[in-house]
Amino acid sequence: MRRDHALSSLLFTVLGVSSALCAAAEEHPNAVLFDDSEIVSTEYPSWFKLSFMDLQDDLADARDGGKTGLMLFFDSDGCAYCRAFLEHTFNDPGLQAGVREKFDVIGLDMFGDIEITDFSGHRLTMKDFALREGVTMSPTVIFYGTDGTRLLRTVGYHPPARFRVLLDYLVGGHFATESLRAYTAKRTPQRSPQPAAPQTDPLFEEEPYAFDRSRLPAQRPLLVLFEDGDCAECLRLRSHVLSYAPVRRLLTRYDAVRLDWSDAGTPLVTTTGARSNPAAWAERLNIAQVPALVFFDETGREVFRLDSLVLRQRMERALLYVLENAYLRGMTYQQFTRGKTIEKRKVESSSAASGG
């Protein structure tokens, strides 16, 4: 089923992400999965459900089929992460079979104007439904039980191995008894009790760690990076993203810190003034996987977080989203980055027309 793109005049077709290349990149942290600055077209797999956009009927079909429920895949025009999800993660044979066995899958444009019927029978546009369900970034995947209860929401691109953990968490019914963080921790190989010594970087603060903003607002926003020294995705973030000059320039306008999420021994003071340690703070923030980037404003309020794959453009725009106070203007991250992409294409088109 081919998507009807509202911004088709701005889009151009690029080569798809090959599964072999992505698999190799996952094994080698210095390799790059794809270029997230490219504006791509996407196509839903043929096995996605052809829905008449009545979610009540779709739930009934899932129940009649003996499925666990519905999976809604929210994407947006030009999203390279969405394309990678569709062409790589959902092309993994074992994972695709597991999804298709347990869930009916429906693709939705988070900016779509098409009218749909929600689980309660109310009519609203696709974009209003997405906002109501807390979809602020693409891709976002939300799982619902056959009674319409939300089981899990996950944001961003996840490679097959990570997405398989989410699927097992749902299919095994673990969501009813434990958090995703607790379940993920049991699936993660045990590390030495001594946390890995972090690589030094002048842009990130050293001990002592004191982030209390509850009494007196800070001068700059705060970025907290939770990581694990053994994590391939963490190594890729450091080598490919945090080394990128535009990202580093923006980071100079932040208070920033890198913390090992397994470190229960290093004392710190959280943004609310509580005494804690990195492991306990990660637990309190319900960080389920690393690397995780948590953005706080000058008063210590969490603005948003990124806990899936982040490449250069997404990192750069996430930093700008907070610095430009777009969230205070009621904009979601995806609305903000969509506007930046439109501006970029207009500049490129104007330059090409003038021969510049």
Tell me: the pLDDT tens digits for 318-340? 999 999 999 999 999 999 999 98
| CA neighbor of 226 nearest in space, from 144, 285, 151, 158 | 285
| CA neighbor of 292 nearest in space, from 337, 86, 324, 281 | 281
Q: Give the 3-state secondary structure of residue 87.
A: helix
Helix axes 180-187, 160-171, angle to 10 degrees: 120
How does pLDDT run along the chain (356 residues), one tens digit per residue?
334 333 333 332 333 333 343 444 454 555 567 899 888 888 999 999 999 999 999 999 999 999 999 999 999 988 999 999 999 999 999 999 999 999 999 999 999 999 999 999 999 999 999 999 999 999 999 999 999 999 999 999 999 999 999 999 999 999 999 989 889 888 766 555 555 555 689 999 999 999 999 999 999 999 999 999 878 899 999 999 999 999 999 999 999 999 999 999 999 999 999 999 999 999 999 999 999 999 999 999 999 999 999 999 999 999 999 999 999 999 999 999 999 888 877 777 766 666 65
- Residues paired with 150 in a beta bridge: 144
Tell me: the pLDDT tens digits for 182-192? 898 887 665 55
Q: Phi and psi of 292, rounded to 5°?
A: -130, 130
Which residues, including other chains, have CB under 8 Å from residue 119's CB and lie 6 or more apart?
Answer: 55, 56, 59, 144, 148
Tell me: the pLDDT tens digits for 20-68? 434 444 545 555 678 998 888 889 999 999 999 999 999 999 999 999 9
Q: What CA–CA distance (Å, rounded) separates 300 from 329?
A: 18
Q: What CA–CA distance (Å, rounded) separates 55 from 47?
A: 17
Q: What CA–CA distance (Å, rounded) separates 52 from 50?
A: 7
pTM, whole model, 2 decimals? Answer: 0.85
Question: What is the distance of C-alpha 262 from the center of its chain?
Answer: 22
Q: What angle is formed at CA 76 by the lines to CA 163 and CA 68, rounded to 5 degrees?
A: 40
User: What are the tokens at 67?
Assistant: 């499925």
Helix axes 160-171, 93-102, angle to 10 degrees: 30
